[in-house]
Structure 1
Amino acid sequence: MTSPWDDAGGLTRDAFLGGRLRLDQPRRGYRAGIDPVLLAAFVPARAGDSVLELGCGGGAALLCLGARVGGLDLTGVEIQPHYAELARGNAALNGIAARIVTADLRALPPDLRQRRFDHVIANPPFFDRRQGTAARDSGRDTALAGDTPLADWIAAGSRRLAPRGWMTVIQRADRLADLLTPMAGDLGSIVVRPLCPRAGRDATLVVVQGRKGGRAPLRLAAPLILHYGPTHGQDAEDYTPKVYSALRCGEKLP
């Protein structure tokens, strides 16, 4: 039987969280890096909470969160059927209960439109489809750019939040304005956390959180430094302790 991943060179099985989590990923195409792991580490979820991930791909962020916090009600939405099926398989592989829905976040099925979640998380495409050229692999192109504006991601997420619920998004730092404009209209108590590759370097990523019904003023949090030293000077990991604990031990980030 032909697999949808045959043209992508098959699948690899990769370890996350120091081996606590295993994920099947296409050898060629979109492969999860540290971004979804960091996203999951920032989510302030507790046992019993409900979580919705928009654009869950193969399930990296959703399942990293499920591995860190037990007893969560997990739901993922993914527009690409092959990746949605991959996320279902990865959830089963790790023994984590999660419902994966194949749908466009702009046209969710009726039962999801009737639900409210304690947390909505998203790792939207980092690039604007109006700029640059498309990737050769369609799955990778959708993950990296896609055709859904960031404002639509925020609108879909905020509508699904329960009162006092949190939306947590990771995005490139140069698209911060594209995030803040729609978030400020729908959410409050917004916190921006810059992620800097090294001390003294500009932030390349930001994690932005907003609360449904929050009233606190916007807060720019202290930056999280990802790596030691001014340059990568050795053939080994050089993550700072907090980042290492999140990536390899599944610890939460503040």
Structure 2
Amino acid sequence: MTDGPDAFLGGILHLHQPPRGAHRAGTDAVLLARLFAPAPGDRLCDVGAGTGAVGLACAALHPGTCLTLVERDPALIALARSNATRNGIAAAVIEADVLASAAERRAAGLVPDSFDLVLTNPPFFTPGRHRPSPHPGKATAHDFPEGGLDLWIRTCTAILRPGGRLGLIHRADALPACLDALKGRYGGIAIRPVQAKAEAPAIRVLIAATRGSRAALSLLPPLVLHGSDPNMFTPEAEALHRGAPWPPD
């Protein structure tokens, strides 16, 4: 049973999500959905899509995007299909395990070199290295097996065309692991730290990278989410939550 639909991006999108206590899309999904601006006809894949928040938000903001959502949980797949229909967005929904073998992924419908853009919010934790959520769905969404990040990025790379772009969000302390997973596969890597407050360390990193590029890495200005009031977004963060583009660097 889900709660009523949540208004997302200032009401541009309305999403049914799992009940409170389960994994629900929030600021991470908003920031990832705003990372790229697909052109009409671009093929976009949201890998590990959950209820479809990231891919649907990006498609809602950029009409003409050819959207595919990839998820393994049947309950979340049902919500993703319902959310696409509710918002009038055409989306192919593929049931597939991102960590499965290449043959299994292809059998599920994930064809190599078939997308221009891939967005992904991988699970953040390895079991045994944090306290898992008591909610099974949330624990599954947050946990990876050992070596899972590299396998996850490998799948994203396989389905992305050469020269296509990958966007992901992760914990700030996972940046070395992310760069290791991207090494030899991507260039033109752009990293944007996300800080809860200006004086605080980063809590997230947003990463954009181009498959097969040899361009140099760049570190972008940080996004600060809150000012003196922790319950209020900064103007930049508030604008992004309403569907505005990234402020100029």
For the criterion TM > 0.5, the same-fold answer is yes
Report deviation, 1:57: 0.3
In the alignment, what sits opposite 1:143? Answer: 141
Letter in 1 for 2:150: A
Report deviation, 1:136: 2.4
2:12 to 20, 29, 34: 20
Whole-Å separation in 1 of the counterparts to 2:99 and 2:40: 28
In the alignment, what sits opposite 2:114? Answer: 116
Provide Cα deviations, 1:191-232, integer angstroms capped at 9, x if missing partner. 111011111211000001110121111111111111223x53
Report deviation, 1:115: 4.7
Q: For the Cα contact (< 8 Å) 1:12–1:26, is it kept in 2?
A: no
Matched residue of 2:58: which SS? Answer: helix
Unaligned runs of 5+ in 1: none
Q: What pairs up with 1:75-90 in 2 under 5 angstroms?
A: 75-90=68-83
Whole-Å separation in 1 of the counterparts to 2:128 and 2:77: 26
TM-score (norm 1): 0.89
Matched residue of 1:88: which SS? Answer: helix
Whole-Å separation in 2 of the counterparts to 1:201 and 1:101: 39
Percent identical pairs in the alignment equals 38
Between stretches 128-137 and 238-247, larger displacement belongs to 128-137
Between stretches 84-93 and 148-157, larger displacement belongs to 148-157
Whole-Å separation in 2 of the counterparts to 1:152 and 1:114: 15
Q: For the Cα contact (< 8 Å) 1:103–1:109, is it kept in 2?
A: no
In the alignment, what sits opposite 1:162? Answer: 161
In the alignment, what sits opposite 2:206? Answer: 207
TM-score (norm 2): 0.91
Whole-Å separation in 1 of the counterparts to 2:39 and 2:137: 32
Q: For the Cα contact (< 8 Å) 2:124–2:144, is it kept in 1?
A: no
Whole-Å separation in 1 of the counterparts to 2:211 and 2:112: 17
In the alignment, what sits opposite 1:193? Answer: 192
Provide Cα deviations, 1:113-158, integer angstroms capped at 9, x if missing partner. 2452110110111222231343222211111114371111111111
Matched residue of 2:51: which SS? Answer: coil
- Please report the RMSD computed on the Cα atoms of aligned residues, expressed in angstroms: 1.6
Q: For the Cα contact (< 8 Å) 2:116–2:164, is it kept in 1?
A: yes
Whole-Å separation in 1 of the counterparts to 2:112 and 2:177: 27
Between stretches 79-88 and 143-152, larger displacement belongs to 143-152
**Number of residue equivalences:** 240
Whole-Å separation in 2 of the counterparts to 1:43 and 1:130: 34
Provide Cα deviations, 1:88-127, integer angstroms capped at 9, x if missing partner. 1000010011111111013323342245211011011122
Whole-Å separation in 2 of the counterparts to 1:134 and 1:80: 18
